[in-house]
Amino acid sequence: MTTSNVKQALGDLNKESFVSLLTKIIGESKFLQNNPPELIPEEDRVVNHVLDCLRPYSTETGGGPLVINHVTYFPGRGNLIVEYPGTEPGKILSFVGMHMDVVTANPNDWDFDPFSLSIDGDKLRGRGTTDCLGHVALVTELMKRLAETKLKLKSTVVAVFIANEENSAISGVGVDALVKAGLLDKLKGGPLFWIDTADKQPCIGTGGMIPWKLHVTGKLFHSGLAHKAINALELGMEALKEIQIRFYKDFPPHPNEQVYGFATPSTMKPTQWSYPGGGINQIPGECTISGDVRLTPFYNVKDVMTKLQEYVDYINENISKLDTRGPVSKYILHDENIRGSLTLTFDEAMSGVACDLDSRGFHVLCKATEETVGHVKPYSITGSLPLIRELKDEGFDVQTSGYGLMATYHAKNEYCLLSDMCEVSFCCIFKMGDVAKDLASGTVGGAAQLIVGHPFDTIKVKLQSQPAPLPGQPPKFAGAMDAVKQTLAAEGPRGLYKAGHCWGWAGVAVSFLACPTELIKCRLQAQSALAVDTGSATVAVKYGGPMDVARQVLRSEGGARGLFKGLVPTLAREVPGNAAMFGVYEALKQYMAGGTDTSKLGRGSLIVAGGLAGASFWGSVYPTDVIKSVIQVDDYKNPKYKGSMHAFRSILATEGVKGLYKGFGPAMARSIPANAACFLAYEVTRSSLG
């Protein structure tokens, strides 16, 4: 089913239903805060609301096609896998990363209650609206709408709502456990979109994270006798300063961070401080500083952990060299043989991701975003997304996106925009899968058209561009078959495919891209027709290949402007010609199908529709193609034609209407099989991709 049909069937996001569900979920957010050991989230509170929404459409109740699997590895902390079955086994499109826990929120710091949804115009306010409960509600509404409409999709659609994303202190609860149990293996069969970023744009880079704890041991004593104490707080502050200085020296900003658009380089920051407690007049004997390293993916996590341990070991060995604070501040009590010390430990670390900017998946997501949002601007952050790198390494085709606001991500007064959720909603989600099929299908279709049709195109251009014979002299080519014979004799079979790769680009590009490639193609194809007869059987070669044509034009024909010679007739050909071709193709398909659903048409019908569509292209614009060809091969220094209209009038005057249809036979002979092959290859490839 096409994206347009999917969009028509699913409609727009039901705002009332979405807001109602989000209200219930945000109302649970106080119990979803993830900061162990004090705050352990209860994700099943969200699971229950999602189940209330989807269970009526499930196989469990007999009310619909949804297959629901509530997977729990820790009491009250479940994950939810929801499948909408497709018609072809093995074809799959998945959405993962919609997590049901949130970061902490202090109501005293907020301008509104963080644990209940409030609405301020377009703003939906509350903890989790952007990260990530808004996405939970959005994808839930998608799965519900699929079940309601019962769309017939070739690909199975899977949504995985996960627990325990915001904190890695406790493992074996969320997506890591699902992967370990093999419950996500089937998702390797298609694109996996991780829905947990923001700003409606592709996130192409994320940071690694190394949670660390620096435990500091000194000696507790009364503050009135400070010379008998080792102040753990002072030691911790000075040690941390030294560690940070060394870290930023060894892991400076990386050049690739600018390429990927990272907002910050790698950082090491303390975020928490704790000590056992005591009176105001007691110098503490121990404390713990906690924080994390945010590492851009161009550095190795293990290398950084090794270096941090080396820094701590050096300080412990040379603790007397560490800066002190005041005349009695010290880290060694020699008379008591006591030394202050540091102990560094790490919680589970994770690596960042740098997406392959040349990958097909990246371009798929960019095109889907551009078509839906209107622009595409990929970005990178040093925030971490658990298991993304591991998923990629294990063979998952992972891309990341999200529809909240980066400005409120993990911040106080968090909100998302209802208009953003409505804008992307279902259409963008399905374009992610649909555009992939378009790209692959178009590539195969273009290749098929090139292989079948290019020899005919070469003969067409040779006939169009051959000079008019002198009085009493025969033309260089007596007709299409004579042109074929002469080309084979002089250039061999390769002559029929000369400039083939240029033609392929011209066939898929818009007029402004097609014009330079068409010019190069025509120059290469026509040069034997325009060559002076030397009496030799070999062709007088003027150009060595496509790049040689481009170089000569840029050097001697007015620079870049020379490559756009013939732009006007190219536009006059491409715009109405493509309108006619695609209009005829769709009309014929619908006529043969007896309606708008053309998915069941056989290959014979597609061949007929594609062939006739190609014929309609040339039937509607062929004279403009003749004008384009003669303009593009005209001599730059001694031009025969002053412009398109002059060429039109000259051909009419010297050759009549017949002159405007030179090469029409080969053009039609090429167009019908080539376009039949192209459209058939496109449809078959697209169908096979689901």
Burial of 505 by CB count in 10 Å (0-12 exposed, 13-18 middle, 19+ buried)? Answer: middle
Q: Report d(CA 178, CA 390) in Å as an integer.
A: 13
Q: Which of 42, 101, 238, 420 is catalytic?
A: 101
Q: Report d(CA 365, CA 376) in Å as an integer.
A: 9
3-state class (DSSP) for residue 193: strand
CA dihedral 416, 418, 419, 424 (to 10 degrees): 80
Q: How many CA atoms lie within 13 A of 500 on its CB side?
A: 17
State how beta strands 191-195 and 118-120 pair: unpaired
165 an active-site residue? yes
Cβ atoms < 10 Å from Cβ of 3: 20
Cβ atoms < 10 Å from Cβ of 290: 16
Residues facing residue 286 across a β-bridge: 217
> Cα–chain-centroid distance for residue 466?
47
Contact criterion met (CB below 8 Å) for 439 and 646 = no
420 an active-site residue? no
Per the document, the length of the chain is: 690
Q: How many CA atoms lie within 13 A of 71 on its CB side?
A: 24
Give the list of residues 6+ apart from residue 163 with CB closer than 8 angstroms, or none: 41, 43, 74, 77, 78, 79, 99, 100, 101, 173, 174
Q: Quickly tell me which residue has 């911040």 as its tokens.
A: 411
Q: Report d(CA 455, CA 257) in Å as an integer.
A: 47
Q: Which of 165, 166, 414, 518 is catalytic?
A: 165
State the first-to-last Cα distance of the chain, in angstroms, to the nearest integer: 8
Contact criterion met (CB below 8 Å) for 117 and 27 = yes
**Sign of the alpha-carbon dihedral angle for 504, 508, 513, 515:** positive
The helix or strand, by DSSP H or E, that contains position 505, with its residue range, turns out to be helix 500-508
Contact criterion met (CB below 8 Å) for 102 and 133 = yes
Residues facing residue 161 across a β-bridge: 80, 98
Q: Report d(CA 631, CA 568) in Å as an integer.
A: 10
Q: How many CA atoms lie within 13 A of 266 on its CB side?
A: 27
Contact criterion met (CB below 8 Å) for 383 and 409 = yes
Q: Report d(CA 177, CA 200) in Å as an integer.
A: 29
Residues facing residue 105 across a β-bridge: none
Q: Quickly tell me which residue has 């992939």 as its tokens.
A: 436
Query: At how many degrees (to 10) do helices 44-54 and 15-26 cross?
Result: 160
Cβ atoms < 10 Å from Cβ of 67: 15
Cβ atoms < 10 Å from Cβ of 255: 7
- Active site residues per annotation: 101, 165
